[in-house]
A and B are shown apart, each in its own frame.
Chain A
Amino acid sequence: TQLLEQSPQFLSIQEGENLTVYCNSSSVFSSLQWYRQEPGEGPVLLVTVVTGGEVKKLKRLTFQFGDARKDSSLHITAAQPGDTGLYLCAGEESGATNKLIFGTGTLLAVQP
Chain B
Amino acid sequence: NAGVMQNPRHLVRRRGQEARLRCSPMKGHSHVYWYRQLPEEGLKFMVYLQKENIIDESGMPKERFSAEFPKEGPSILRIQQVVRGDSAAYFCASSPYRGEQYFGPGTRLTVT
Interface residue ranges, A against B (CB under 8 Å): 31, 33, 35, 40-45, 48, 88, 90, 96-105
Q: Using Cβ atoms and an 8 Å threshold, which residues of chain B touch A45? A: 100-103
Interface residue ranges, B against A (CB under 8 Å): 4, 6, 33, 35, 42-45, 48, 55-56, 59, 91, 93, 95, 98-106, 108
Say whether B102 contacts A98, CB under 8 Å.
Answer: no
CA–CA, A42 to B106, complex, Å?
Answer: 6
With A33-B101, A97-B56 given, is the CB distance from A102 to B43 under 8 Å? yes
Q: Using Cβ atoms and an 8 Å threshold, which residues of chain B touch A90? A: 43
Say whether A41 contacts B105, CB under 8 Å.
Answer: yes
Q: Using Cβ atoms and an 8 Å threshold, which residues of chain B touch A88? A: 42-43
Say whether A98 contacts B99, CB under 8 Å.
Answer: yes
Show 10 A/B contacts (Cβ-Cβ < 8 Å), sorted by A.
A41-B105, A42-B105, A43-B91, A45-B100, A48-B100, A88-B43, A96-B56, A98-B101, A99-B59, A100-B45
CA–CA, A110 to B108, complex, Å?
Answer: 27
